[in-house]
């Protein structure tokens, strides 16, 4: 059977677990002339816990209206009180990158973008320092320098928000952006800001985690990619990775090794977000 290559749709659902959810969703898709390509589900407790589901399907019709499909699905979602979203797989998300002076996470994302391993558009990179302008513009991506100081922070954030809205940004990646975002900024993009913290959270929250790790004589160092909330470094964790170290590692060696972990964890988290594989529930995530 031939499928329209631009008709891939992703449906993500969370609700209280109860009988009939899978049957209702499957019947709806069958009647809508859709073919299920992949279906994943998870229940925290079959006896009244939470139920999470991700379905990827192809529409068999040559043309269809995603908005009409969403409207029709509300009749299925309502009785189960579902929290859900339906995304077109063919629509490229628009990602903005925020960065300061360190380039390793930024360059990892740009390389994967150029290699089509992260299928997004990157309309803008914003930085509070001018240092990485040439590297970014070498990829043909506009670089915007917005200086930030204690006195100008509010105005700088206002300018950044204006830039993001002007470029119709879907989500933001903080690729070692060394500024704490205000509640107003975070509230403008809820569950749409991904940060990489150079530590295996919840250990060593805040600044200088490698120095703290060295002082504690850790045997593992790690990195944590998470969604940003108003609580510093405490948002829903998307991905973590670790690397074994020993007593011979200086603070600088820990920092160098940690950069490799940071790149990997952040790139994975971004890829999962782009592919609509993440459901946020409270301060946790379910990653399919």
Positions annotated as catalytic residues are 233
- First vs last Cα of the chain: how many Å apart? 27
Other beta carbons within 10 Å of 165: 10
How is residue 276 written in tokens? 């609509």
> In sequence order, which residues have a C-beta less than 8 Å from that of residue 88 and are 6 or more positions away?
8, 9, 66
Other beta carbons within 10 Å of 66: 15
Question: In which element (H, E) is residue 276 found?
Answer: none
CA dihedral 253, 258, 260, 264 (to 10 degrees): 170
| Contact criterion met (CB below 8 Å) for 261 and 221 | yes
CA distance 262 to 241: 8
Using only C-alpha atoms, the chain has a radius of gyration, in whole angstroms, of 21
Peptide bond into 203 cis (omega under 30): no
Q: Is 13 helix (H, G, I), strand (E, B) or coil?
A: strand
């Amino acid at each position: 059977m031939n499928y329209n290559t631009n008709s891939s749709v992703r449906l993500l659902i969370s609700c209280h677990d109860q009988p009939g959810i899978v049957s209702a969703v499957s019947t709806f898709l069958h009647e809508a002339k859709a073919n299920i390509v992949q279906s994943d589900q998870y229940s925290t407790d079959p006896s009244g816990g939470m139920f999470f589901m991700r379905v990827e399907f192809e529409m068999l019709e040559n043309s269809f209206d995603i908005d009409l499909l969403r409207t029709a699905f509300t009749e299925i979602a309502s009785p189960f009180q579902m929290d859900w979203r339906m995304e077109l797989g063919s629509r490229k998300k628009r990602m903005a990158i925020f960065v300061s002076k360190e380039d390793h996470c930024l360059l990892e994302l740009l390389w994967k973008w150029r290699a089509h391993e992260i299928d997004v558009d990157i309309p803008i990179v914003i930085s509070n320092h001018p240092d990485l302008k040439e590297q970014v513009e070498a990829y043909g991506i506009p670089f915007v320098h917005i200086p930030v100081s204690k006195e100008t922070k509010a105005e700088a954030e206002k300018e950044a928000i204006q830039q993001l809205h002007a470029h119709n940004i879907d989500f933001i990646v903080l690729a070692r952006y060394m500024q704490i975002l205000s509640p107003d900024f975070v509230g403008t993009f809820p569950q749409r800001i991904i940060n990489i913290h150079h530590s295996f959270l919840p250990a060593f929250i805040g600044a200088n985690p490698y120095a703290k790790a060295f002082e504690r004589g850790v045997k593992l160092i790690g990195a944590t990619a998470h969604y940003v909330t108003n609580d510093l470094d405490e948002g829903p964790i998307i991905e973590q990775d670790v690397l074994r170290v020993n007593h011979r590692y200086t603070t600088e060696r820990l920092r160098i090794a940690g950069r490799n972990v940071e790149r990997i964890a952040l790139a994975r988290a971004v890829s999962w977000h782009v592919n609509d594989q993440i459901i946020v529930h409270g301060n946790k995530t379910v990653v399919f």
